[in-house]
Amino acid sequence: MNSADRGAALSIIIPFFNEEESAGWVLDEVRQLLPEAEVVAVAGSPPYSLPAHRGERMNEVILEAFGVVVTPWKIVGYVGVLTFAGRWLVQVVASHRSGAPTVPRVFWYMSLTGSVLLLSYFVFGKNDSVGILANLFPASIAAYNLFLDTRKTPQVTA
């Protein structure tokens, strides 16, 4: 009498994600080790990830050098970081020219642009909640400050 006739005492569920090449070998090994077990293979992507046909090109490797892998999403992230960090150079130059601490309007544009690029990277490219939270707050503050800065009217001095 085999396990199918009497009902399996042990059931093993093995999830596979992008493992088509090794799935058969793994299932054969488990069946050899535990012939009495019911082995169930579940294939597919987790519910939180994009289907394979969507966003596929953004995750393709463009360059790999010195252990660094570059994809289009990473380029979005790199540009976001450079823009977000570069705003401080703009602020320093503006302060130097005026001789006092100054925050020019372009600072807020760069803050907002950098934050949106980083949010895109963390939401769509990396699916990382820590990165999303770390950039959501600065994006909202930059948007608010830009709103205030564009609303102010120059004061006329007599």
Asked if pLDDT for residue 32 goes beyond 90, the answer is no
The position carrying tokens 């990473």 is 74
Asked if pLDDT for residue 47 goes beyond 70, the answer is no
- Percentage of the chain beyond pLDDT 90 is 38
Give me the pLDDT at residue 48, please. 46
pLDDT (mean) for 71-76: 90
pLDDT (mean) for 13-25: 72
Give the bridge partners for 14, in sequence order.
41
* Whether the Cβ atoms of residue 73 and residue 50 lie closer than 8 Å to each other: no
Top pLDDT among 12 and 66 is at 66
Asked if pLDDT for residue 148 goes beyond 50, the answer is yes
Range of weakest confidence among 10-14, 102-106, 127-131: 10-14
**SS3 category, 109:** helix
Within a 10 A sphere around the Cβ of 37, how many other Cβ atoms? 15
Look at the chain and count its residues.
158
Give me the pLDDT at residue 94, please. 95
Range of weakest confidence among 33-37, 115-119, 120-124, 143-147: 33-37
Give me the pLDDT at residue 1, please. 45
Confidence of residue 40 (pLDDT cuts 50, 70, 90): confident
- Whole-angstrom Cα distance, residue 60 to residue 80? 19
Q: Whole-model pTM?
A: 0.59
- Whole-angstrom Cα distance, residue 92 to residue 83? 15
